[in-house]
Structure 1
């Protein structure tokens, strides 16, 4: 495996972060600021750099390399596989009448299954139902293929996200990369570092990813009561106080971020489904807990491997980034310290992370986690 990283900051030229290499038909991940990716010349710019590359774009809430997390930039990670092959499939949730399950199932069913080892997903993140997307993808896997990835971001604006394969980035697009090869190895792990607090509440009314009532009372009213003065900063403040959800249909609890609120009907719109009769609690964290969780995720992903990782794909949540603030690089440093400086680090801050629970095979939508995928061939 050969890798090359290039960065473009706002109003600046492309800057090579590693020595120039001639790569053959590389997989090129172009992750960065949504406004910069909406520049109508961006596809041509990257195509000029990689004439025979497979170009995958995704907007982020911050793009990640081993050294820095940037908000107003685009980071390119180009990868030439020497022993493995890959295929790329796309689907657009706008073409499926916003049916996220149908979109996910169709996307994964497009891949030939023979020797398929891993699928990495970069999904639109502004109006997708991530829970239904992952359920649809699981429904299309016949051999428990590992699926990881994340939902695109748009800083903390929550206005729109864009993604694309071999064209200018656009809304609604979901890109999946399927990896094949006898020697291809991928492992993963996720950790959050958030702690539940306060009383447990019962979800008495919900529909898909919209939360109406907790304990028979309007959910938004109750949430505002707990937030106090911080409720004036909604929906942004909600990223600092996500919900821990215990569902009857799941063995493990999961975390849901509040993406938006509706003042007119006192509801909260979450990043994924929140089933009725689930039990929920508010959660909180601090910088040290988040950094420690990233280290644990890296160690766990590394322990599961037979070979040394060459590439680390990191997907971390925008809520974690807001907590870390000026110390945002600390959770990346923890990962680098574990996997080694000779492992190429590529990643982004997201509106949701995609991976199975530890020890399971079906992928799930997570919020407020660091999800690490380690790859070698």
Structure 2
């Protein structure tokens, strides 16, 4: 498999670069496309389709390619995979729930390939991350492989989209179902965040809304415990402070904790609205703001994945939480560069509102504040 990564500030430059690549006889069958919400996704999808290239696409909150971060741009990876070795599917949540749609996706994968892996991107379905994983698992089976990310929209927080040719939707799921007997799909969901303080209990929650922690209003608890002040009148204030620096770590016996990001706060009842469900009764700890140790932990897990399981790669796709970018700041390129250098192959990715993947000691599930690294290798 040959992977070629391309970036550009607009449609015209991207098309020009693709035309240059195609002149040399390269014949890609698939494009992984990540772009800012300001671009016309269908303009590019129509062009790629005219070249016989299928499109797996998502809007972003920042893009990166081969270790370099872009702003309001278009990045894509072209892959010359045999079309018989993958199936591209687009589903939209309408009358059916995300769980039902995802179950259908899992069943389709099982019917298409005896050994299938799923790479997915989902639209503005922030409360449905777990339901999507559970649905695919229900349809395919417990042994399923799922990696991916939730679309972004430059932190506007109004309607990120996923897309393919002639299809785009805020409520959609785009899935790349891969035949693992022909193409190895491996990956890891890792974060490197360190916990701080004692374990606490979510004493009241519903779905992705946390009302109380240790019987105290959730927002007040975090502000007091961490010694921070914020203007709850401003939605962005919550995103840039709470979600970036102080995510919750949901502890589970015997497996890695799963991260949960507080995206908004309700000033009336002092609750927190998270980017994923938080079960009542869950045990949680707060997190320390990240430093270079967090990057080293992520890179170390990637190196362990490569060496311990002898995993090679032709291409890397990476989904990294926007909260990591906000909190890591100038350190962010360091993480991207070092992850790519582990395999030293073309890499494409974006900053997401949630991530799908398997941690080192966990199962395939929905994450926040995490980076999900996926490797592809043709057998």
Q: Deviations over 1:307-337 (max 9, x none)?
A: 5310111111111111222332111111122
The answer on whether the counterparts of 2:148 and 2:355 sit within 8 Å (CA) in structure 1 is yes
> 1:14-56: CA deviations, max 9, x gaps?
2639961344461111102112246x634334445xx211112
Q: Distance in 2 between matches of 1:12 and 1:290?
A: 38
User: Secondary structure of the equivalent of 1:253?
Assistant: strand
The 8 Å contact of residues 189 and 356 in structure 2, kept in 1 or not, is answered as no
Q: Which residue in 2 is equivalent to 1:81?
A: 81
Q: What is the deviation of 1:247?
A: 4.6
Tell me, in whole angstroms, the C-alpha distance in 1 between the residues paired with 2:53 and 2:12. 23
- Please tell me whether residue 357 in structure 1 is matched to residue 359 in structure 2: yes
Per the TM alignment, residue 356 of structure 1 is displaced from its structure 2 partner at its CA by: 2.1
Q: Secondary structure at the match of 1:157?
A: coil
2:346 matches 1:311: no
Aligned to 1:188: 187
Question: Which residue of structure 1 lines up, in the alignment, with residue 300 of structure 2?
Answer: 296
Q: How many residues align?
A: 368
With 137-146 and 208-217 compared, the bigger mean Cα shift is at 137-146
2:265 is equivalent to residue 266 of structure 1 = no
TM-superposed CA distance for 1:283, in Å, is 0.6
Q: Which residue of 2 aligns with 1:206?
A: 205
Alignment pair present for 1:44 and 2:64: no
Change (3 A) 1:126 1:135: closer
- Residues 107 and 182 from structure 1, CA distance in 2 versus in 1: closer, same or farther, beyond 3 angstroms? closer
The 8 Å contact of residues 89 and 110 in structure 1, kept in 2 or not, is answered as no
Contact 1:294–1:334 (CA under 8 A) maintained in structure 2: no
The alpha carbon displacement at 1:352 in A equals: 1.2
Return the alpha-carbon distance in structure 2 between the equivalents of residues 311 and 106 of structure 1.
28
1:82 is displaced (CA, Å) by 4.4
Give the conservation status (yes or no) of the 8 Å contact 1:165–1:175: yes
Query: TM-score normalised to the size of structure 2?
Result: 0.88
* Counterpart-to-counterpart distance in 2, 1:56 and 1:82: 16
Match of 2:147 in 1: 148
Deviations 1:123-165 (A, max 9, x none): 1145342122212221112361211111111233322210112
Which residue in 2 is equivalent to 1:275?
Answer: 279
Write out per-residue CA displacement over residues 341-367 of structure 1, whole angstroms, 9 at most, x where no aligned residue: xx121111111111123255x410112
Structure 2 unpaired stretches of 5+: 232-236
> Is 1:26 aligned to residue 25 of structure 2?
no
Q: Distance in 2 between matches of 1:251 and 1:310?
A: 30
For residue 304 of structure 2, give the secondary structure of its aligned residue in structure 1: helix
The match for 1:108 is 106
Does the 8 Å CA contact 1:117/1:184 hold for their aligned counterparts? Answer: no
Q: What does 1:131-280 correspond to in 2, within 5 Å?
A: 131-142=130-141, 144-180=143-179, 182-226=181-225, 228-232=227-231, 233-239=237-243, 240-247=245-252, 251-280=255-284
Alpha-carbon distance between aligned partners in 1 of 2:229 and 2:167, rounded to the nearest angstrom: 38
Change (3 A) 1:126 1:348: same
- Structure 1 residue matching 2:100: 3-state secondary structure: helix
Structure 1 position 93 matched with structure 2 position 93: yes
Q: Partner of 1:64 in structure 2?
A: 64
Please give the secondary structure, in 2, of the residue aligned with 1:140.
Answer: helix
Deviation digits for residues 260-279 of structure 1 (CA, Å, limit 9, x no counterpart): 22223322111222111111
2:377 paired with 1:338: no
Task: Provide the C-alpha distance between the structure 1 equivalents of 2:13 and 2:28, rounded to a whole number of angstroms.
Answer: 23
